Amino acid sequence: MEVTNRYIVTKHHIEGTPQESDFELKTGALSLSVEPGKKDVIVKNLYLSIDPYQLNRMKRKSSSQETKDFAGAITPSQAIDAYGVGRVVASGNPDFKKDDLVAGLLSWGEYSTIKEGGLLNKVDNMGFPISYHAGILAFSGLTAYAGFFNVCKPKKGEKVFVSAASGSVGNLVGQYAKLFGCYVVGCAGSQKKVDLLKEKLGFDEAFNYKEETDLKSTLKRYFPDGIDIYFDNVGAKMLDAAIENMNTFGRVAVCGVIAEYTDKGKRAAPNMVDVVYKRITIQGFLAADHMKDYKDFISNTTEYIQSGKLQVLEDISDGVESIPSGFVGLFRGDNIGKRMVKVGED
């Protein structure tokens, strides 16, 4: 059997802020059977993750080694791999059979072909909405969990600041931190998001950074006794302001710098004198390095969700053609919670 697979590609490398016109929808015939002897798995995609880091893969390869060990460059006109969840429609791999629910590195389209050795795992749904397996129970959740517990090494009662706090990772960091017993302040880019953080997610305080003119004073106001932990999703001036307000032995976990992805000129310039005298640690990390904590993460997180202690924020668009606008919107801060696209019915 053969189907028409619709998928999204970039037309060219993207250097600045992405536009919808940088993308196009392609169509190709796809046979839903695996050639004998091949171990491919063909998956009908259900939910796909839309993440800011993909922009770095769309840039022209620079001399910098920044993506060398993480995710390879995206080639214009070629399918774009992305984490997601789907159903197996055909498998030449004995580990997977038709109708298995699987999550892994799929692609921004209606179907994915996963070669032998590709990232793919069977999913135990545990009664959750399927989308959870592309978001909170996948890399967004693990990033928040491992970043907060392993990188920030919190102590109860510590003061935690989270930027992009209504985003896919930030909202979870704040919630984990509250559940752990920290004081948590988040910042976001609209009053609506601020209200959500305080009223629905239980943040102690939140503010709209777009309404603040002097971030250093703002943070001083929200943290009169200083910041112990800063979970940084944005970089640039917010990082500088946080360093200025940190306590001795403060820790900064950096898992993304969305303010710097679209503008190379917009860089953090933290006061290194503060970094020395306050013995601050700034640590970049990726969730993939913390797979040893995956089981802990899943067992704690599913329990928190089931008991209603952890709110799941999803922001799901519909149809493969919505991927470009969904992706572009991330850089305007359109999303509340985890941005995904639903590309197929189960």
Q: How many CB atoms lie within 10 A of CB 270?
A: 19
Exactly one of 260, 293, 321, 334 binds a second copy (CB under 8 A); which one?
260
- Rounded Cα distance between 114 and 119, Å, is 8
104 binds a second copy (CB under 8 A): no
Nearest alpha-carbon partner for 321 in 159, 129, 108, 168: 108
Cβ neighbors of 117 (< 8 A, separation 6 or more) are none
- Rounded Cα distance between 203 and 193, Å, is 11
268 binds a second copy (CB under 8 A): yes
280 binds a second copy (CB under 8 A): yes
284 binds a second copy (CB under 8 A): yes
Cβ neighbors of 161 (< 8 A, separation 6 or more) are 184, 185, 186, 187, 219, 222, 223, 227, 229, 230, 231, 242
Among 124-132, 193-201, 270-278, 313-321, the segment contacting a second copy (CB under 8 A): 270-278
CB of 29 to a second copy, least distance (A): 36
17 binds a second copy (CB under 8 A): no
Exactly one of 102, 197, 282, 313 binds a second copy (CB under 8 A); which one?
282
Exactly one of 39, 67, 118, 294 binds a second copy (CB under 8 A); which one?
67
Number of residues that bind a second copy (CB under 8 A): 42
Residues 37-56 that bind a second copy (CB under 8 A): 56
What angle do helix axes 294-306 and 139-146 make, rounded to 10 degrees? 100
For the chain, the residue count is 346
Q: Are 72 and 149 in contact (CB under 8 A)?
A: no
Exactly one of 277, 291, 299, 306 binds a second copy (CB under 8 A); which one?
277
Among 161-169, 191-199, 274-282, 309-317, the segment contacting a second copy (CB under 8 A): 274-282
Which CB, 126 or 272, lies closer to a second copy? 272
- Rounded Cα distance between 140 and 74, Å, is 21
User: Considering just the CA atoms, what is the radius of gyration of the chain in Å?
Assistant: 20
Exactly one of 9, 30, 257, 328 binds a second copy (CB under 8 A); which one?
257
Which CB, 121 or 262, lies closer to a second copy? 262
Q: Which residues bind a second copy (CB under 8 A)?
A: 56, 63-70, 220, 226, 235, 239, 244, 248, 254-257, 260-261, 267-286, 289
